[in-house]
């Protein structure tokens, strides 16, 4: 396995172009890794996070560089936003409700935390001196496409989850604001991102279940759901590659692997990393088509050729990403 999961080293001209950067949701999973990569490249960073799901401990590495300023605040607070955006050139908008599964029973958080907060942020950005916005979107905006691997120009887009619909609405808002008010926008549609500091998703669920009962593992759906997974280090390097080389006013990139992995295989990887043998794997059946929950896309793989054309490529395959993430998460648990 390739262990090259360090951030890309940015050219000094790109660092100057990026300028002082705001990361919304920067104490969370992906956001804290973005903060680490930015400070690794000597970029001054502000973090805006309400710590509802993020943790200050996630920022230990970047805070030690003295390049980072943390602001405990919320996107719905216009005064906090105004302060956070002062002297900012680039914004990584990563703050969001991250739960795909819970949207069926509680659709309101996806609207409030994704759509409404994104509009609030964009309203503040248009009155600021921000030159570039980077947005963390999702493969869920495609719904269940009949073309796999799925390219960025696939349509019509028919998301099947509240989460996917909210991310697509955010993309539309970003497109309209960037064309109306002149700032550059990069949108990234991610496959399933996994790695250290993750707090939700199938790997975390499996680890938690097996820590409670190491003899059996309940698997949502039929276990045949097959999707692409990408390690968070490859995700962050995707941001940086496009930021360095994209020249369009609005650019959209898929970020995913050339392969995919099914849920039963993920379960076996987790069991192996936990040193467990003869665990009884029990699929629940899930939805009528075998999905884990209402809104679960059964098969997902993205065509990432556009980002690869700029020089990006993932260091880890889907199975390697899952294996590495599992090791990282177990190591974090052991250190608690």
pLDDT digits (tens, 9 = 90+) for 236-280: 999 999 999 999 999 999 999 999 999 999 999 999 999 999 999
pLDDT at 71: 96
Q: DSSP letter at 74? A: -
Digit-coded pLDDT (tens) for 220-236: 999 999 999 999 999 99
Digit-coded pLDDT (tens) for 52-109: 999 999 999 999 999 999 999 999 999 999 999 999 999 999 999 876 655 567 788 8
What is the pLDDT averaged over residues 23-31?
A: 97
Digit-coded pLDDT (tens) for 152-200: 999 999 999 999 999 999 999 999 999 999 999 999 999 999 999 999 8
The average confidence (pLDDT) of the chain is 93
- Top-level class of domain 12-194+230-258+301-315: alpha beta
Say how far apart CA 143 and CA 300 lie, in whole Å.
9
- Distances 253 to 75, 141, 153, 306 between C-alpha atoms, Å: 25, 13, 10, 7
The residues near 203 (Cβ < 8 Å, ≥ 6 apart) are 194, 266, 270, 322, 325, 326, 329
For residue 314, pLDDT over 70 is answered with: yes
Residue 313 CB neighbours (<10 A) = 13
Domain residue ranges in the chain: 12-194+230-258+301-315
Q: For a pLDDT cut of 70, what percent of the chain falls above it?
A: 97
Q: Comparing 107 with 27, which gets the higher pLDDT? A: 27
Phi first, then psi, for residue 146 (nearest 5°) are: -90, 10
pLDDT at 72: 95
Cis ω for the linkage preceding 149 (within 30 of 0) = yes
pTM: 0.94
């Amino acid at each position: 396995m390739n262990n090259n999961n360090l951030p890309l080293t940015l050219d000094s001209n790109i660092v100057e172009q990026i300028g002082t950067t705001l990361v919304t949701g920067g104490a969370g999973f992906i956001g804290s890794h973005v903060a680490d990569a930015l400070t690794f490249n000597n970029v001054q960073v502000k973090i805006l996070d309400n710590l509802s799901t993020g943790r200050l401990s996630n920022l230990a590495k970047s805070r030690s560089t003295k390049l980072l300023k943390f602001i405990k605040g919320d996107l719905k607070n216009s005064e906090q936003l105004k302060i956070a955006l002062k002297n900012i050139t680039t914004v990584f908008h990563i703050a969001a409700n991250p739960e795909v599964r819970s949207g069926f029973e509680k659709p309101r958080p996806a609207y409030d935390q994704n759509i409404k907060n994104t509009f609030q942020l964009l309203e503040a950005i248009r009155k600021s001196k921000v030159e570039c916005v980077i947005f963390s979107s999702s493969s869920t905006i495609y719904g269940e496409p009949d073309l796999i691997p799925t390219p960025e120009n696939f349509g019509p887009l028919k998301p099947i989850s509240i989460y996917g619909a909210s991310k697509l609405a955010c993309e539309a808002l970003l497109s309209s604001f960037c064309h109306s008010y002149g700032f550059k926008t990069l949108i990234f549609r991610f496959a399933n991102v996994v790695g250290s500091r993750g707090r939700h998703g199938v790997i975390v669920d499996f680890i938690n279940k097996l820590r409670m009962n190491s003899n059996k593992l309940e698997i949502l759906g039929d276990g045949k759901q097959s999707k692409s997974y990408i390690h968070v280090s490859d995700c962050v390097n995707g941001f940086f590659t496009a930021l360095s080389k994209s020249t369009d006013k609005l650019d959209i990139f898929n970020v995913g692997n050339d392969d995919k992995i099914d849920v039963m295989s993920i379960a076996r990887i987790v069991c192996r990393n936990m040193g467990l043998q003869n665990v009884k794997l029990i699929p629940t059946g899930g939805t009528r088509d075998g999905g884990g929950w209402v809104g679960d896309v059964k098969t997902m793989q993205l065509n990432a050729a556009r980002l690869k054309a700029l020089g990006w490529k993932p260091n880890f395959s889907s199975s390697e990403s899952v294996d590495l993430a599992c090791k990282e998460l177990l190591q974090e648990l052991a250190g608690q």
